[in-house]
A and B are shown apart, each in its own frame.
Chain A
Amino acid sequence: MDKKQLIVMGAGPGGYAAAFQAANLGLDVTLIDPKPDPGGVCLFHGCIPSKALLHLAKVKKEAVLAEEWGLTFTDAKIDLEKVRSWKKSVVKQLTGGLGQLAKSRKVKYLRGTAILTGKNKLEFIPSEDGKQDTKNKKQEIEFEKLIIATGASSAPLPDIEFDDERVMNSKTALELKDIPKKLLVVGAGYIGLEMSVIYKALGSEITIVEFTPDILPGVDQDLKDVFKKERKDLMDNIMFNTKATSVDKKGKRLNVKLETKDGETREETFNKMLIAIGSTPNTRGIGLEEAGIETDKKGFIRVDLVRRTNIENIYAIGDVTGQPMLAHKASHEGRVAAEHIAGNKTAYEPKAIPAVVFTDPEIAWTGLTENEAKEQDIKYEVAKFPWAASGRALTLGVKNGLTKLLIDPENGRILGAAMAGTDAGSLISEATLAVEMGAVARDLELTIHPHPTLSETIMEAAEVFYGHATHIHKRKRNKRTD
């Protein structure tokens, strides 16, 4: 039996990044995934299709807004078939491209799933999209090194299973089977809000229930406030401190029982419901026990700085290693693991991992957040620049928006940053670079930013720290002279 030099289990953004980097570094790489091409949940059922649909939602919203500026369109018509095929073409183009890239790097792509059977071997089960491939037989494959990148799946509710087409998770919701008249979204985290924005734009009537007292648990209050002000349409129909306890699927409609923290219950009917309460790592049923790989209580695989598990030759990256469960974190980990396997000295040690909620308006943050700073008792100062003072924001018709920097009061070093508003997800990168570079607010202040753009808000927030922003006038308590 031939022994593979490196097998990567799972071809999501973590797995394929690891496989490609390993191949770049001269390793012989085998990539195993049930999908026809690399991409994983992110490209097939997550980040990419959702962003395509969110763009659609944004265009629609702006078209409506344009009436205020003197540009009136006739009412939008939605051709669901066309929307689906457009979304599909985007996914196809991207994943097909990745398949080509795998080939050109001579990465061997095996379509199917794998279960570990020991520290150096696994059983490969050929399959296509979950259906077992009967033509090809199971086979045992030995390997020298392995990277586990099996990702995560939507967590189900304790008493509500995904056994009815009308009870959706983010993956099935993005398939856009139809546009439900009344949609219940369980969970006001980033997936719940993004899906709400999409279905709202498509014409659904949205009800959101959230178990905690607010949207986006953990996110700084001032950022949430921007979203709340902008999306009154969604906020009017949201129930906090509430959970969906059971669902009656017998009738034509779903009869959902909702319960508040105080114990009040009521029933409401919906055409469909979406459960977006988080993700669980795909670490069960993949033979971790056979190889002796340790996981923590939540099922995440324990890894060290180079993403090596307690088993010397087995690495794990991405959602299976813990929070934040983000594609870009997985890719970075994947490259680190591949580099280490190739014998390079490397480490996973980011100062800042940007996170973006792609709702309209977008919310993004990087590095230290105010909540974290308070929890960890880290001294910081906030420098805020409201977008009401940004020329570019006004020309875009954006009224609410915020850029803030978290700064070390001792030396002006940028510890973190956050934005809420149009394109926040793109703006956050400059701040992430600043954090990684150990930049001080002075560096951002003295860097010329193009006018008129939203990026100027970062420069001006830095100016605020020193007490003299051009476009807002505010006396600082303690004026900085340094």
Chain B
Amino acid sequence: MIKEIKLPEIADNVDTAVVLEVLVSVGDKIEKDDSLAEMESDKATFDMPAEESGTVKEIKVKDGDEVKVGQVMFTIDTSADEEKKEVAKEKEVEEDKKEKPEKEEEKPEKEKSEEKEGKEEDKAEKDQPEEKETGKKEKREEEESGDEKTEQKEVTPEKEDTEKPAAEVPAPPSVRRLAREIGINIRKVPGTGPESRITIDDVKAFAKKQMEERSSPGIADDYELPDFSKWGKVRREKMANIRKITAKAMTESWQTIPHVFQFDKADVTNLEEFRKKYSKHLEKEGGKLTLTAMLVKLTAEALKAFPRFNASLDIKNEEVIYKEYIHIGVAVDTERGLLVPVIRDADKKPVTQLSVELGELADKARKKKIMPDELQGGNFAISNLGGIGGTSFTPIVYRPNVAILGVSRSQMEPVYIDGEFRPRMMLPLSLSYDHRIIDGADGARFLRWLCEAMENPMLTMF
């Protein structure tokens, strides 16, 4: 029995993923859930699990390939396993039958569209035989001179075209010249003039659109870097997808959200005592009672008390979207960069469960096993840098959230209580919020509420 392993649905709006590394070879014996490949999508890095045990028969992708959802990546020969699982096999065949008609309906359409694309490409090539040649030449050059060339490519988006005249395009000479000068392929510019004549404005509009599209990853800007090699040896490395996504998201957040930062300190002396006391007990159940877990729990309560902090802003429609669920994202520091897995319904789960879930999610994120949908849907985020240190910091609100809580390292401080200084464990908290929806007084109230809840968790019951 040959089983096809296809790229599964990863998350909403994610249609493709890139193969970072194929982890198996043809002939490898694999167990169910073994990783076949390391994948990277727009939203996350994850492993591609084997749905069945068996032997790898074919590998249809290679490192760097972009794979569409539903595309066959591997075939696995499950016959060796089948003898063991006769019953299961029958069931499988039945399932196969059920699935088949559906699959076949899908297939022709896909093939058709692929064929069509192929034809169009062919045609384009025929129309411009020179283009093909230049392309080849460029490729060769690139291969020859490696990094230098790729670097150049980033600076000039379209390589200067010295092979094809653009005389067949309905555009005046001045317009064709402008397009050349600013590196626009005039063949791609839609003309708005009479009988689709291309005007100067068309070229400008196209260039602007292209700039916007190109800069939309949030990482491209006009800043011209100096030549660092003047001062010493340098090394260039491609940005990982996660890095690019973070760069884009943070730039957009910082540019659109008017941030306000609020700082406070919570007296967590009692909470810490409680935590230490019950931590061991929890470890037996497979978790650890962490400060973060308790923070998630209390924050969930705070969000209930201050629903605006759990909301999103719909500026286009001038509406505030209140959410009747409490999903909280918790930032995890991984080798590849920052990931924010989301705890669903944090308000409905006991601290013990939150603790276990947090541990699992963090582990998955670090081992690249987290699936993109586990990183989506958060209403509020917590970033705890206390493990590393620091007295305070100002995290950036992650859209479409409206606030984020930053946690720094707690330390023993003398606190003046009832006429004397007492040693208290104080936890510095930072709250960043979107002033378009939350005012200063609310920000202060929210953070104070949280601090007081940590000092006396019983308060949350009122």
Contact = CB atoms under 8 A, between A and B. Distances in A.
Interface of A: 304-306, 308, 344-351, 411-413, 436-438, 440, 442-443
Main DSSP-derived SS at the A contact region: loop
B342 interface: no
B144 interface: no
A349 B194 contact: no
8 contacts: A305-B163, A347-B176, A349-B166, A349-B176, A350-B167, A350-B173, A411-B196, A442-B194
B12 interface: no
B195 A345 contact: no
Closest CB pairs A-B (n = 4): A349-B165, A438-B170, A411-B195, A437-B172
B183 A305 contact: no
Q: Among B161, B167, B172, find the residue whose CB has the most chain A CB atoms closer than 10 A.
A: B167
Q: Among A306, A308, A347, A443, find the residue whose CB has the most chain B CB atoms closer than 10 A.
A: A347
B304 interface: no
B177 interface: yes
Contacts, number: 56
Interface in B23-53: none
Interface in B164-211: 164-173, 176-177, 180-181, 183, 193-198
Given A346-B177, A349-B176, A443-B194, A438 B162 contact: no
Contacts of A411: 195-196
A345 B167 contact: no
B181 A344 contact: yes
B121 interface: no
Interface residues of B, number: 25
Contacts of A304: 162-163
Main DSSP-derived SS at the B contact region: loop
B195 A440 contact: yes
Contacts of A308: 162
B160 interface: yes
Contact of B167 (A351, A413, A437): A351
A438 B172 contact: yes
Contacts of A349: 165-167, 176
B196 to A, nearest CB: 8
A409 B31 CA distance: 67
A438 B196 CA distance: 9
Contacts of B180: 345-347
B240 to A, nearest CB: 34
Contacts of A413: 170, 195
Contact of B165 (A348, A412, A437, A440): A348
B181 A347 contact: no
B270 to A, nearest CB: 71
B170 A436 contact: no
A436 B167 CA distance: 8
Contact of B171 (A306, A348, A438): A438
Contacts of B160: 345
B149 to A, nearest CB: 16
B197 A438 contact: yes
Contacts of B193: 438
B195 A305 contact: no
A46 to B, nearest CB: 27
Given A437-B172, A438-B171, A347 B195 contact: no
Contacts of A442: 194
B194 A440 contact: yes
